[in-house]
Structure 1
């Protein structure tokens, strides 16, 4: 996809290094249970010098985003450990790993078609970027509260 073909969705709901995530709404707005009620319709785009990969659809679950928030809060507090956006759908995965001196390594895996493509982006930043990620996660979870969190085990 060339830059001229990209749709401008406005400000992303969440940004992690070159990854931008726009939330368009719930996949099943009427569902109130944990499994069906928490799927988000998103567009995820990762850009770096010379490349851009985009995936879209109901590929992020609010439970996964909640896990990323908790992981990032832990990273910010201790400057150690790992935070992950571990998506059940194979289109997107993000890992943030704390290194020495407040450096955070980022690995982003994204694909529009998991059967024929694999794309990985690597970046790093310092811990001063974590609050924006935490705020992005909180913003999405504030707009789309996690439904039936006790229903995870069903």
Structure 2
């Protein structure tokens, strides 16, 4: 399962590999997902392992759906551990400015911050990819 945040000459890809703790039923343990993050921007490429949470994908999907409807609002995918932070802002013409910050290894590693543009046409495929992730890795339990 892959999630692509795309723009002109830029790609942030998150591949969800598996649940980190597949036997857990506790909200705090069961929703960790092992992922691979791949960044491709002019002059740089990076790939690294990261743990993200199913509820982070759920919240991002909900915000993105609302942004696609109303053409306003900021959306954000923020990892609890600080490995990735993606923010998108849309204007009334459907142009989205994405700001991405990654850190690897978490807490002590190199930080890469970059920005890129896309338009609203990239949102429907992203929503479908997120729906696929949430179908295969639904949020388990409640906090």
TM-score, L = length of structure 1: 0.85
Corresponding position of 2:64: 72
Kindly report which structure 2 residues correspond to 1:41-56, keeping only aligned pairs within 5 A, or say none: 41-56=34-49
Q: Distance in 2 between matches of 1:37 and 1:68?
A: 19
Three-state SS of the structure 2 residue aligned to 1:100 is: coil
Q: Distance in 1 between matches of 2:109 and 2:136?
A: 34
Would you say the 8 A contact 1:53–1:112 is kept in 2?
A: no
Corresponding position of 1:14: 3
Kindly report which structure 2 residues correspond to 1:2-151, keeping only aligned pairs within 5 A, or say none: 13-17=2-6, 18-58=11-51, 60-113=52-105, 114-148=107-141, 151=142
Q: Deviations over 1:43-92 (max 9, x none)?
A: 0011111101223132x101110010001001100010011101101111
Q: Distance in 2 between matches of 1:57 and 1:80?
A: 30
Q: Deviations over 1:102-128 (max 9, x none)?
A: 111101111222413110121111111
Number of residue pairs the alignment of both structures matches: 138
Gaps of 5+ in 1: 1-11
Gaps of 5+ in 2: none
RMSD: 1.2
Would you say the 8 A contact 1:37–1:147 is kept in 2?
A: yes
Would you say the 8 A contact 1:39–1:62 is kept in 2?
A: yes
Structure 1 residue 98: Cα displacement: 1.1
Structure 1 residue 146: Cα displacement: 1.0
Q: Deviations over 1:5-57 (max 9, x none)?
A: xxxxxxx6100021011111000000112110000000001111110122313
